[in-house]
Chains A and B, each alone.
Chain A
């Protein structure tokens, strides 16, 4: 829950702003990427995913961008709302493995 956020990078935005959360991954053999949202006291919830043969994927108010050249993933949230306040994790699936490896997370704080 709330203890998840200790020592995490934090992004503070105003309601209505667009938010961009970044993630660097290290393994060039990763072929699947996923973003999760975790609210205080809850388990991670799926937001959006992208496969390595794509550069961009859009969902409802969210867009994921993948730059394989620099091994960088970003999550863009349009018109951020207070309900978007949470910790956001990126995760990668390395080709040949059936496990997801998670990043350390970013806390998003949205002020009304």
Chain B
């Protein structure tokens, strides 16, 4: 049982480049989330998908777009990367509200 799988694990981008971070879960969870983690800042919510077919902005959505491709997959896209988007990105999923969120191993992104 793989849980939540993120790809890639590491990425270096030049300013202005675009890329998509992939996330897939095999637990049949309804809700999926993208967080970013910066030193001393905890995890901040970028976007989430409460159920298949819906997406909503979180605390820090600017510069990002998301796609809930199906129940399993939730991708995060950076259309024009900026140095301020250098961070560690985590995908998470939950089966329903008020239950634990399962996290992937993270994608460490550096924008130069």
Contacts and interface: CB of A to CB of B under 8 A. Distances in A.
A7 B39 contact: yes
A43 B106 contact: yes
Contact count band on B = 20 to 34
Contacts of A51: 98
Contacts of B111: none
Interface string B3-44: 010000000000000000000000000010101010111111
Interface of B: 4, 31, 33, 35, 37, 39-45, 48, 50, 58, 88, 90, 94, 97-106, 108
20 contacts: A1-B88, A1-B108, A3-B39, A3-B88, A4-B88, A31-B98, A32-B98, A43-B103, A44-B90, A51-B98, A89-B42, A89-B43, A98-B31, A98-B97, A99-B58, A102-B43, A102-B44, A103-B42, A104-B40, A104-B42
